[in-house]
Amino acid sequence: MAQVGRLTTSKLMSVLTASDGLPAAVADLSTTQSLSLPAVTAGQIMVQNVTPEISERSSIFQYPLVCVYCNKITNQLREKFRSFSGDAQMVIEMRVSQDRLDQIEANVQSYIDAVTQVLDQTRGDWGDGVFYPGGYEVTYGAVKHGGKNFLQIAKVSFVLEISAN
């Protein structure tokens, strides 16, 4: 099971950090909609499932921050002779922090638009038995104290279908 979690997380990281991945989508969205969004670099996309309170105390990073992780693995044994044929629930967590409340929610929504745009463009086979059929769910958290002063987190959850030996 651990291999499935590592495999799906690395595939998702490859999709997000590709030349046409999230940094390019954010730049394109900023240009086409005349937004002043801070850029997202590949270094701001990390594999991590940790609360903001803990991560802010233990490491140095730059906002916006994108955390990628596998939330749940289900082996449904859909294929008779495979050791694993099931689903992996993936999460892309977008953390935006700024010193003022102005535009924080609009910025989070714009970053989520870029994330979902990348997912929409990469439907299909991701290789090594990982398949993204499409579809996702977005949840927005309330703005709270954290980061540079205010912090808002939004999560994009989706399912990858896995077929592995």
- pLDDT, tens only, 60-116: 778 999 999 999 999 999 998 888 999 999 999 999 999 999 899 999 999 999 999
Positions of E strands within the chain: 45-47, 65-75, 84-98, 124-127, 130-132, 137-140, 144-146, 149-164
Task: Return d(Cα 121, Cα 118) in angstroms, integer.
Answer: 5
- For residue 45, pLDDT beyond 90: yes
Query: How high is the pLDDT of residue 57?
Result: 72
- pLDDT, tens only, 103-158: 999 999 999 999 999 999 999 999 999 999 999 999 999 999 988 889 999 999 99
Lowest-confidence pick of 11-20, 45-54, 79-88: 45-54
Q: Which tokens in the block code for residue 11?
A: 């595939």
Task: Return d(Cα 50, Cα 67) in angstroms, integer.
Answer: 9
Structural domain tally of the chain?
1
- For residue 20, pLDDT beyond 70: yes
Main-chain phi, psi angles of 66, to 5 degrees: -115, 120
* CATH of residue 34: 3.30.2000
Task: Return d(Cα 2, Cα 7) in angstroms, integer.
Answer: 9
Domain of residue 116, residue span: 2-164
Yes or no: say if 131 and 124 are a contact pair by the CB < 8 Å rule: yes
DSSP-derived 3-state class of residue 52: helix
Could you tell me the pTM of the whole model? 0.93
